[in-house]
Structure 1
Amino acid sequence: MAQFDTIRTTAGVRAGVIDQGLKAHMNKVYATMSIGMIITGLAAWAVSGLAVTNVATQYQLGTGRYLTEFGYALYATPLKWVIMLLPIGMVFAFGALINRLSTAGAQLFFYAYAAAMGLSLSSIFLVFTGTSIVQVFLVTAIAFASLSLYGYTTKRDISGWGTFLIMGVVGLLLASIVNIFLGSGPLQMAISALGVLIFAGLTAYDTQNIKNTYVQHAVHGDTEWLGKAAIMGALNLYLDFINMFMMLLQLFGNRQE
Structure 2
Amino acid sequence: MSTEQYRISIGQDRVNAIFTDAMARMYGLVALGIVTTGAAIWVGDMLGVGNVIFSFGWIGMLIMFGIMFGVLMGANAAVMRGNTGLGTVLYLGFTGLEGFFLSFILTRFTTGTIGVAFVLTAGMFVAMSVVGMTTKRDLSKLGPMLMIGLIGVIVVSLINMLLLQSGMLFLLINIVLLPIFLALTVWETKQMKELAQDAAMRGDARVANQVAVIGSIGLYLNALNIFIILLNLLGFASDD
**TM-score computed with the length of structure 1 as normaliser:** 0.81
Equivalent-residue separation in structure 1 for 2:65 and 2:100 (angstroms): 9
One of 52, 77, 80 as aligned partner of 2:61: 80
Structure 1 segments of 4 or more deviating over 4 A? 11-17
- Aligned residue pairs, count: 228
- Which is further off, 22-31 or 90-99? 90-99
For the pair 1:225 / 2:207, whether they are aligned, the reply is yes
Which of 167, 184, 197 is equivalent to 1:202? 184
Distance 1:89 1:106 in 2: 12
2:87 corresponds in structure 1 to 106
Aligned counterpart, 2:31:
34
Tell me how far 1:218 sits from its aligned partner: 1.9
Shift of 1:97: 3.3
Task: Please list the CA deviations of residues 38-90 of structure 1 after superposition, one character each: whole Å capped at 9, or x if unmatched.
Answer: 00111012212322xxxxxxxxxxxxxxxxxx654321213233223322232
SS in 2 for 1:155: coil
Counterpart selection for 2:112 from 91, 106, 131? 131
Map of 2:172 onto structure 1: 190
Matched, 1:25 2:22: yes
Which structure 2 segments of 5+ residues have no match? 1-7
1:103-182 paired onto structure 2 within 5 Å? 103-181=84-162, 182=164
Deviation at 1:180, TM superposition (A): 1.7
1:49 alignment counterpart: 46
For residue 238 of structure 1, what is the amino acid of its counterpart? Y
Q: Please give the secondary structure, in 2, of the residue aligned with 1:123.
A: helix
Q: Which has the higher helix share?
A: 2
Report what 1:54 is aligned to.
none
**C-alpha distance in 2 between matches for 1:159 and 1:14:** 29
Q: Secondary structure at the match of 1:125?
A: helix
User: Match of 1:248?
Assistant: 230
Deviation string, structure 1 residues 167-223 (Cα, Å, up to 9, x no partner):
122112212211221211111111111110000000111110010001122222322
Give RMSD over aligned pairs.
2.3
Q: Secondary structure in 2 aligned to 1:137?
A: helix
Deviation at 1:95, TM superposition (A): 3.0
**Alignment partner, residue 5 of structure 2:** none
In structure 1, runs of 5+ residues without a counterpart are 1-10, 52-69
Q: Distance in 1 between matches of 2:77 and 2:110?
A: 38
Identity over aligned pairs, percent: 28
Alpha-carbon contact 2:128-2:185 (below 8 Å) kept: yes
Query: Per-residue displacement from partner, 1:211-249 (whole Å, max 9, x unpaired)?
Result: 000112222232222212111100010011001111111
- The TM-score with structure 2 as length reference comes to 0.86
The structural deviation recorded for 1:157 is 1.9
Q: Which amino acid aligns with 2:55?
A: A
Secondary structure at the aligned position of 1:221 is classed as coil
Q: Is the 8 A contact 1:144 1:203 kept in 2?
A: yes
